[in-house]
Chains A and B, each alone.
Chain A
Amino acid sequence: MGHAQNKDYSQRDYDAILRDGEELISTHCCFCGMQCGMNIRVRKEDQSVVGVEPRYDFPMNGGRLCPKGVAAYRQAEHQERILHPLIRKNGKLEQATWDEAMDLIVSKIQEIQGKYGKDAFGIYSGSSMTNEKCYLMGKFARIGLGTKNIDYNGRYCMSSASVGFNQSLGLDRGGTNPWSDIKFADVLLIAGSNTAECHPLSMPYIWGARDRGAKLIVVDPRQTKTALVADVHLNIRPGTDVALVNGLLHVMIKEDLIDKDFITNHTTGFEELKELVHSYNPAYVSEITGTAADKIITAARIFGQAKNGFAMFARGVEQHATGTDAVSNYVNLCLVTGKFGRKGSGVATFTGQGNGQGGREHGQKTDQLPGFRKITDPKAREYIAGVWGVDESELPGPGLSAFEMLQSLGKEIKGLLLVCSNPIVSSPTVGDVGEYLKSLDFFVCMDFFLSESAELADVVLPSTVWIEDNGTMTNVEGRVLRVKGVDRTPGESKRDWKVICDIAERLGRGQYFQFNSPEDIFNELRVASKGGIADYYGITYEKLDKMQGVFWPCPTEESEGMPRLFEDLTFNFPDGKARILAFEYKGPNERTSKEYPIILTTGRVVYHYLSGNQTRRIDTLRNFCPDPYVEIHPKLAEQYNISNGETVKVSSPRGSIELVAKITKITREDMVFVPYHWGKSLAINHLTNPALEPKSKIPEFKVCAVKLEKIASSAGEMHG
């Protein structure tokens, strides 16, 4: 049965099958924040990775996997893996030795920092790697390189949720509750999340709630598979979430569907909210959002009348110029109805990246130190400097956020280390990002496949795939769990944490990076996080194995972590009260115009992960979705005389792309949708708007203005 914390989950009572001559590595998927458990089949004789076997006993997914999960292992023996260091010679990346590569890297770091100052060398890292690696990146930047300029790709996905949770609840853990609590909700309001495709393993929990009679409200411009099975689908115009929620709050307050005791005892700011939403009547909100007033009223009544419920959301809410407002407004729905701190009540964001949670906690964010500490907080600086054995004055301050960092390449930042990310696919205005990267004096990239970004590097270092290393990840719920790997490093590949320690050694900073294993790093992380909000001090590898993961905070060795936050209804502010914040609807940064009359929104498909550098290389996933496409409503298509399968040019003020039209009624008539997993001429991010959310610095990927033109000739062979 396992630990009591796991009792309401999805595990199944079967053992994995072990085949002759093989061993099973009990680990987790590398894709997405669900961190589904899986067994990797390894042939004993040569340590080759041969397949996947369900891990029925892991609580979160009980052996179930989405197609990415089933196919994930196929990266390990992939013929396109980088197996040797590469150095650019005469414009071409050529095979080199580790010594050549490391000598070059170290000399370039020293040259650039000597000439332009420490901050002229930056690190752009990622959130799909283990806590140990994320922690090490932050430490290496601050006291290995001594640069303030480190930020990471989580800036593009988790940052608005993080700011929103912090400003409303005083604490940012993606899920306030264990995922099994979803089953006990009476209502689920899911906004801006195509859960079925992007977090498929949440569906058994959603169906679990449905089977108990829960109502499902889905807010999404498209009738996704998640929306298709909803009781109420609020198909709002992209970027109008703040107005929609104001409308829901308006109805709930007007019809007295709120929890006054909870509001009085556990929140502040309700009166301001009440006053602000007064004008957001259903008719007005319907006009802004383009969704029917009666559906808004119905949704508000269902949510308000339910005893227990969740407000859950994802990038559709967060990747906006007002993304943090929208997050806090969705949190308001649970605050005014008292849906917190119980089984079945809370808020959550669907974490996109494998370690989207842990990756934002331990110091690779430019404004942050381990344990969710602020880098500007004198006490935090003093504590971390003590853990690292340096003087507080040696720690840099906050640097540039991810997209700002890219914009400053070649200017303020002359050298860049890129780890676990592919910004030339994932950033807005990717055409410009290519120019930024090319303007660097020196660009080194670590990866196991030659991503579109790596193709531009001066040095590429071959790292290992996830199942060739050990470490921990923190999932969508805030559950820290163990990733285990095969003990092998194919070709000349090396584990990236080892490479970082080697570079530090060669820079003369080796005394701060004496780690012989991920567990060594984790044990330091535990101490560094101690007393912080994301406190991992009491978590050990042994405890993680025994409990199948531990929820932070876990401040002492006796503690077994905290699966459900706020059970005592004390929020993380000095007065213990959550902040109800009120927001006027401002709308997206870019509006449609006569020239660009249509809204573009972007997103994911079930077969691909982020920039597609991994999933586009896996045959079976690529075959199911080889190319991007543009979803167009039949009525819009008719205006432009576009038929299904024809080629369409989609242009924004920043760029254009040619795509195959997919005519479908699932989308709105005033918008088009394009998935973003492809690079170069197939990258929809040529078009997206780099307008940054002022607090979270997330770019507004989810709305920009475009025009459509039918192209007579076919787009020809595409296949990214």
Chain B
Amino acid sequence: MDKVLYIDYERCIGCRACVIGCEECSGHDHLSRMFVDELNPGETVATSPTPCMHCVTPACAESCPVQAISIAADGTVLSASMEKCIGCKNCTYACPFGIPKVDDVKKVMYKCDMCYDRTSKGRPPMCASVCPTDTIRFVDQSDLKNDPPKPVQFKWDFGGTIIETRTVIGLPDTEENRFGYREGDGVQS
């Protein structure tokens, strides 16, 4: 069973339950690895959550000089090994999504590992467990990519470099901009 994170931006209420919930996973040392951004403050209340995108070819792991970032058998890009990580921050510069963080006291990188302690036991990650609006879901990868409930994206073009991610984004309606996801022009009540 190959499950990945699916994020439906439109449903996000910006409550950050995922951010706090992330701290509750046994492998997370009470450090949250989740991000929630206000997309256009002052214009709308639209927000979006960002976990690790779990790249198929992860730049963080490739840039790591000491090979501290492993990839699990299911493709999950794990957080840095405490023993190996030297806190050099290469990964934080390499990641196109800005996901890895470095604990400056412990000098160790930490990032979303999709709650490996939970997913390895067949349970959803904490973010997908607690998300009150089903913005973040833990779903079968092939179903999602072959038969998505709405237009989705999992390939990203960074200046000609295509990055494929295991995390899948359900695209918001930017055409009519009903839910405030296009920048600059606000939303009419």
Q: Chain A interface (Cβ within 8 Å of chain B)?
A: 12, 14-15, 17, 19, 51-54, 56, 61, 63-67, 69-71, 196-197, 200-201, 203-204, 207, 223-225, 227-229, 233, 235, 606-607, 620, 624, 634, 644, 663-666
Contact = CB atoms under 8 A, between A and B. Distances in A.
A665 B44 contact: yes
What are the nearest 5 A-B pairs in CB distance?
A200-B132, A203-B133, A196-B13, A54-B129, A235-B189
Nearest to B43: A665
A8 to B, nearest CB: 15
Nearest to A204: B134
B130 interface: yes
Nearest to B122: A14
Contact of A65 (B11, B21, B44): B21
A235 to B, nearest CB: 4
A75 to B, nearest CB: 14
20 contacts: A17-B121, A51-B24, A63-B130, A64-B130, A67-B15, A67-B17, A70-B21, A70-B24, A197-B15, A200-B132, A207-B134, A224-B45, A225-B45, A228-B45, A229-B11, A229-B179, A235-B189, A664-B41, A665-B42, A666-B45
Contact of A203 (B21, B118, B132): B132
A666 B118 CA distance: 39
A67 B10 CA distance: 19
B129 A64 contact: yes
A228 B118 CA distance: 34
B13 A67 contact: no
Contacts of B189: 223, 227, 233, 235
Which has the most chain A C-beta neighbours within 10 Å: B124, B130, B134?
Answer: B130
B82 interface: no
A14 B123 contact: yes
A666 B189 CA distance: 8
Nearest to A196: B13
Contacts of B130: 54, 63-65, 69-70
Given A200-B132, A233-B189, A66 B180 contact: no
Contacts of B47: 225
Contact of B186 (A63, A196, A665): A665
Given A54-B130, A64-B129, A235-B189, A644 B42 contact: yes
Given A69-B17, A203-B134, A223-B45, 12 more contacts: A64-B131, A66-B132, A200-B17, A201-B132, A223-B44, A225-B47, A228-B44, A606-B14, A620-B20, A620-B23, A644-B42, A665-B42
Contacts of A14: 122-124
B187 interface: yes
B16 A666 contact: no
Given A67-B17, A69-B17, A224-B45, A207 B133 contact: yes
Interface string B100-133: 0000000000000000001001111010011111
Nearest to A666: B45
B26 interface: yes
Contacts of A64: 17, 129-132, 134
Contacts of B124: 12, 14
Interface string B18-35: 011101101000000000
B69 interface: no
B46 interface: yes
A326 to B, nearest CB: 21
Contacts, number: 113
A290 to B, nearest CB: 11
A345 B116 CA distance: 42
Contacts of A227: 189
A606 B10 CA distance: 18
Contacts of B17: 64-67, 69-70, 200
A237 to B, nearest CB: 12
A198 to B, nearest CB: 10
B11 A203 contact: yes
A606 B123 contact: no
Nearest to B10: A229
Nearest to A56: B129
A710 to B, nearest CB: 18
Nearest to B117: A17
Contacts of A56: 129
A49 to B, nearest CB: 13
Contacts of B132: 61, 64-66, 69, 200-201, 203-204
Nearest to B20: A70
Interface in B145-189: 178-180, 186-187, 189
B15 A200 contact: yes
A14 B1 CA distance: 14
A604 to B, nearest CB: 12
Contacts of A66: 15, 17, 132
B113 to A, nearest CB: 15
Contacts of A17: 26, 118, 121, 123
A65 B18 CA distance: 9
A664 B134 contact: no
A207 B129 contact: no
A493 to B, nearest CB: 26
A153 B21 CA distance: 31
Contacts of A69: 17, 130, 132
Nearest to A221: B189
B187 A223 contact: yes
Given A235-B189, A644-B42, A666-B45, A67 B14 contact: no
A17 B129 CA distance: 12
Nearest to A232: B189
A200 B12 CA distance: 10
Nearest to A34: B132
Contacts of A201: 132
Contacts of B42: 634, 644, 663-665
A204 B13 CA distance: 12
B45 A204 contact: no
A576 B38 CA distance: 51
A67 B20 contact: yes
Which has the most chain B C-beta neighbours within 10 Å: A51, A56, A70, A644?
Answer: A70
A663 to B, nearest CB: 6
Contacts of A235: 189
B20 to A, nearest CB: 4
A126 to B, nearest CB: 25
B144 to A, nearest CB: 16
B67 to A, nearest CB: 30
A181 B124 CA distance: 26
A61 B42 CA distance: 31
A63 B129 contact: yes
Contacts of A665: 42-44, 186-187
Contacts of B41: 664
B13 A606 contact: yes
Contact of B24 (A52, A196, A634): A52
